Amino acid sequence: MTAETDGTAAGSGADGDGPWTSEAKPQHEAPGPDGAAEAANPDGGAGEPDDKEAAKKQRPFWKELPMLIGIALILALIIKTFLVQAFSIPSDSMQDTLQRGDRVLVDKLTPWFGATPERGEVVVFHDPGGWLPEAHVEENFLQTALSFIGLMPSANEKDLIKRVIAVGGDTVECKKGGKIRVNGTPLNESSYIYPGNTPCDDKPFGPLKVPDGKLWVMGDHRQDSLDSRYHQNQPGDGFVPEKQVVGRAIVKAWPIDRWGTLPVPETYDQKGVQSRALNAAPGAVGLAGAVPLVLWRRRRRQPQQARPVAQSAPHDG
């Protein structure tokens, strides 16, 4: 009914042969052999080129596969360089926190924003020099490429993983039969130290003042860890420069049954351990109070110094 009404309206125009009549007529014609195809394409097969273009745009999967692989590799390289990198644990020095063969994920993002290692964190760092034996393993092209983009650990990477015990400005020591003391406060390491181990009976040390920008690190398996204690006679005195730190280990990712985070033990939150930072507070307060006093005294002197200049000015004329 609607189409017929439109056709009558079109035929009642001033010119019976006007454009309204020509447009309305196809609506009354019977569909051709192609039926719906003609109705969908009243311009006489205008849809055929579109079908061909659509077929051309749909590339076979095997042609798109190289591009997808390339994008995946680029993303893997970006993630490894700036965000997170996986590391494999090669020794027993961090037992029982980490077992040989565990895979950990290391945060590489926060150091880009100025974050520095804190006490109690487990960190991966480059060999400061002489901590690992000199050795070179021949790798094929595939191994080198996969290790470069972070999909496979390199056999020639000289990286270590330890726990940060003290940071720059701290005083650290450990006597035989005693506990590790940071800024005079003993640490309770029972939550992470290897069962049956002592804090330092195999290699007591200190007291030592950690230089600014350096770290004192130790393994959780104290009697099976060649850490800062055993490199005090080498360049660097056993301290690890912060710039050598790759990042903080935040998650045990593999194997699945050992998945878990690597939080900072509560013992490092003691006020005594944090005293290095607290001791700096009075100095900062004193400096803040001294600045207004100095400015006030300078303002009082300025008028007194200005008067002689004003009185002596006429004599210069």
For every residue of the chain, which 3-state class applies, written as one string? CHHHHHHHHHHCCCCCCCHHHHHHHHHCCCCCCCCHHHHHCCCCCCHHHHHHHHHHHCCCHHHHHHHHHHHHHHHHHHHHHHHEEEEECCCCCCCCCCCCCCEEEEECCHHHHCCCCCCCCEEEEECCCCCCCCCCCCCCHHHHHHHHCCCCCCCCCCEEEEEEEEECCCEEEECCCCCEEECCEECCCCCCCCCCCCCCCCCCEEEEECCCCEEEEECCCHHHCCCHHHHCCCCCCCCEEHHHEEEEEEEEEECHHHCEECCCCHHHHCCCCCHHHHHHHHHHHHHHHHHHHHHHHHHHHHHHHHHHHHHHCHHHC
Partnered with residue 252 across adjacent β-strands are: 104, 260
- Say whether 275 is catalytic: no
Active-site entry in 80, 108, 162, 252: 162
| Annotation marks residue 162 as catalytic | yes
Chain mean position to CA 221: 27
Q: Which of 80, 93, 225, 228 is catalytic?
A: 93
Catalytic site residues? Answer: 93, 162
